[in-house]
Every structure is written in structure tokens, then in C-alpha cells.
Amino acid sequence: MKNGAYAKTINAWCMYDWANSAFATTIMAAVLPTFYGSVAGADLPGNMATVYWGYTSSVALLIAAVLAPTLGALADVLGAKKRFLAIFAALGIFFTSLLVLVSRGDWLLASILYILGEVGFSGSIVFYDSLLPHVAKPEDIDYVSSKGYAMGYLGGGILLAVNIAMIMFWKQLGLGSAEMASRWSFLSVGIWWAIFTIPVMRHVAEPPVKATSGPKVNALSAAFSRLGATLRDIRRYRELATFIAAFWLYNDGIGTIIKMATIYGTEIGIGQTDLIGALLLTQFIGIPFSLLFGKLAKRTGTKRSIYIALAVYTVISILGYFMTEAWHFWVLAAMVGLVQGGSQALSRSLFGVMVPKAKTAEFYGFYDISSKFAGIVGPAVFALVGQITGSSRLSILSLVVFFVVGMLILTRVNEAEGIRVARAEDAAAS
């Protein structure tokens, strides 16, 4: 592939981060959680809106986790990574757009639509991530993954800024009310997501499927057979399995902060403008720092860079316990911006270099299921602790365990050995 064509493919792949990050910012992190707490769940007693939002997030992740590995294996067998990416993106776009119908007291409808939107969002990322080792050269994979996250921060940040303007200046824009402006912002996410999914579908090629000898079999049966074989042979990928265990824990902490931060802030009395504005700050700080973490990985190593990010997250969780003022939330949001994109981008690329190329969708299905099943635990623990204690302060503090134990397991990953095993399998398959 010529350099110009290579750059075009990389940019097209990164644009899907730009597209789906609108869901991550406006729906998952900023506007919908505060809308859920103050409008959809306004009639719920005490902190039950926060509790129900935590359980809603856990159910969404459970469904996505169950689907991910089988669909990943099926996509590898059929050579259909892009087809499945399109199907799940369309699912997410459709149900996200329907959130425009949610009004006061409709917390159950909001939960159902969010769950279905999250399934589409999470499912599409399995197949998007699985394209990374095919799109990027091995020496570029850290940087390309980081560039994707930077593009996501920029795209998600731009639309979030537009949504904030819609909510703040609803009267001047003729949107009826701040509540109605929030609802229109949900529709804008669906439109944005749909438009910017086009580049990856047009300019990124479907990776080739290795031809197999012998009689043809049903694709679904072949997918289950392949999935079973991977489970049986997982000890061959010991470093990969150890990394998944580490990622399972620390990414659960990261995901819980993303999903629960604003509704936690709403519970302790921080206003919507401060909450959403601080998350916008997170987005724009995340743009340069996602790229800087890609460069840092080349200097100090990928694992060490992840350790730095997780240490910062540990501090964020401790400080979150003491948060009482709006400016506290702004400071913590800025700290998240320093490390969020870098930690996730480098995790994605570290996993990618230890995966055999013939099984990328299948293995990224496992990668995704590990984060989804783990992600069920974080919001559920957050909700359960909040329900038992009547406050979410201890909930935020409990996330320290996820970061510390995740780091300890990560120290046991031998990156070089994981890469050697993956390359040996690639050579044997060629």
C-alpha cells in the first residue's frame, strides 16, 4: 500500500472514533446521565435515580458481553467485520435517536433505549477495534490507536460543545425549554454517528479470510467451533490471557467513572452546566494527551505508560470521595482528560500486538467481553454501595481496588513473549 493510500485508510479508520464518541460523550457521560437524574428519574425517591442508572449500565454491558465473542468469531469466519460494524452501528444510531422521545418520569423508557443503544455502540467497537491490526503497520499501532482516541475526543468534544450551547441557549434557539434542548441533543448524536461512519465503510477494506480446505460447514457452527477451540487453547496465549485479566479490572474502574461521574455530581448538588462543561474540558484535554501517550509509549514502553495512567486514576477516585464543590469536579475532570484516552488507546494497541492476525475479530470479541463483563461489576457495585449507604461517596472510593489490583496483574504480563507467540502463529498460518 502506497503511503498516500495508507494514510487515507488510517484516517478513515480513525473517523469511526470521531463518529461513535458522540455517544460516549453526550449519551454515556454528560447529557443523558444528568437528564436521567433530573428529568427522566425526577420522581424517584432519594438517590434511586443514581442507583437505577448504575443498574441500567450493568444490564447494557451484560447483553453486549454475551454477544461479543460469538459475533467476533462469526465475523472472522465469514470475513464480515465491516458488515457487523455497520449492523451494530445502525442499531446504536436508531435507538439513540429515539431518546428524543423521553420526558419527565420516563426513566424506564430511557433505560431501555439506552441499553439498546449501548449494545449497538459496544458491539460496533468489537469489529472496529478488530480492524486495527489490519489497518496499521506493527510499528505504527500505538500511534494509530492513540490517534483514533484523539479523533474521538475531538469529534465527541465538538458535538458536546454544540449540545451544551443548545441547552444553555435554548430560548434564543427556539428549542422550547432546556429539557427539550437536551432531547434534541440525543437526536443530534444519532445523526452525527451516522454521517461519520461513512468513511470507515467506504475506505477501509475488509481483511482477507484465509481459505480452508475440506467440506464447507455452516458459518455459525464454524464460529462456535472456533470459539470453543480458542477457549481450549487459551493457555497457548498465556500473556494475552493475563493481560485480559488486568484489563478486565482496571478498565472496569475507568468505565464506571465515565458512566457514573455526572449522575454522582448531580446527586451531590453540582449543576448541569458545571457537570457538562467540565466533561467538555475532559474532551479537549484528552486530544493532545492521547497523542502524547502514544509518543510516551515509544520512549518508556506501553506497559509503563499504562501504569502512569492508572496511578492518576487511583488519585482521582480518592479525591472524588471528598468532592463537594463544582470546582472540585472541574479539577477531577481535567485529571481524567490527562489519562483517559492514553490508557484506553495503549491497552487496545498492547492487546493488538499479541493477537494472531487471522483471529482479530474473535480475540477482540474476548477483549470486549472481558471489559463488558467486568464493566457490569463496576456500575453494579457503585449502585449497590449507594443503595446500601444512601450516598455514593463510598461508591467512588471503592474504584481504587479496580485500579490497584489491575496494575498488579499487569506487572505479570510478558509483552515480548506475547508478541512472539502471535507472530509464530501468523507464520504457521501463512
Residue 103 pLDDT: 94
Q: Tell whether the model's pLDDT for residue 411 goes beyond 90.
A: yes
What single DSSP character describes residue 174? T
Residue 363 pLDDT: 74
Residue 222 pLDDT: 57
- Residue pLDDT, tens place only, 335-361: 998 998 889 889 888 888 888 877 776
Nearest to 343 by CA among 317, 366, 310, 367: 310
Give the model's confidence band at 369: pLDDT under 50 very low, under 70 low, under 90 confident, else very high.
low
C-alpha cell belonging to residue 60: 447494557
Looking at per-residue confidence, does 71 or 251 come out higher?
251
The CA-based angle 61-63-67, given to 5 degrees, is 115
Average pLDDT over residues 32-37: 90
- Residue pLDDT, tens place only, 94-148: 999 999 999 999 999 999 999 999 999 988 988 898 888 889 888 888 888 888 8
Does the pTM of the predicted model rise above 0.75?
no
Nearest to 91 by CA among 73, 107, 106, 113: 113
| Highest-scoring range by mean pLDDT, 187-196, 198-207, 369-378 | 187-196
What distances in angstroms separate CA 138 from CA 134, 135, 145, 266, one per listed residue?
9, 9, 11, 44
Residue 191 pLDDT: 98
d(CA 199, CA 151): 13
Looking at per-residue confidence, does 363 or 365 come out higher?
363
What single DSSP character describes residue 414? -
d(CA 156, CA 158): 6
Give the model's confidence band at 59: pLDDT under 50 very low, under 70 low, under 90 confident, else very high.
confident
d(CA 81, CA 246): 26
Residue 295 pLDDT: 86
The CA-based angle 124-126-127, given to 5 degrees, is 70
- Residue pLDDT, tens place only, 221-256: 655 565 566 566 566 788 888 998 898 889 888 888
Asked whether the CA dihedral 292, 22, 18, 165 is positive or negative, the reply is negative
Scored b (16 or more CB within 10 A) or e, 257-272 reads: bbbbbbbbbbbbebeb
Domain topology for 10-204+232-429: Growth Hormone; Chain: A; (1.20.1250)
Average pLDDT over residues 172-177: 93
Q: Tell whether the model's pLDDT for residue 179 goes beyond 60.
A: yes
Residue 234 pLDDT: 63
Mean pLDDT of the chain: 85
Average pLDDT over residues 371-388: 74
Q: Are 89 and 193 in contact (CB under 8 A)?
A: yes
Q: Tell whether the model's pLDDT for residue 1 goes beyond 60.
A: no
For the chain, what is the total number of helices (H) and then of strands (E)? Answer: 19, 0
Question: What is the DSSP code string of 208-236?
Answer: P-----S----HHHHHHHHHHHHHHTGGG
Least confident of 84-93, 315-324, 419-428: 419-428
Backbone angles phi, psi at 322, to 5 degrees: -95, 0
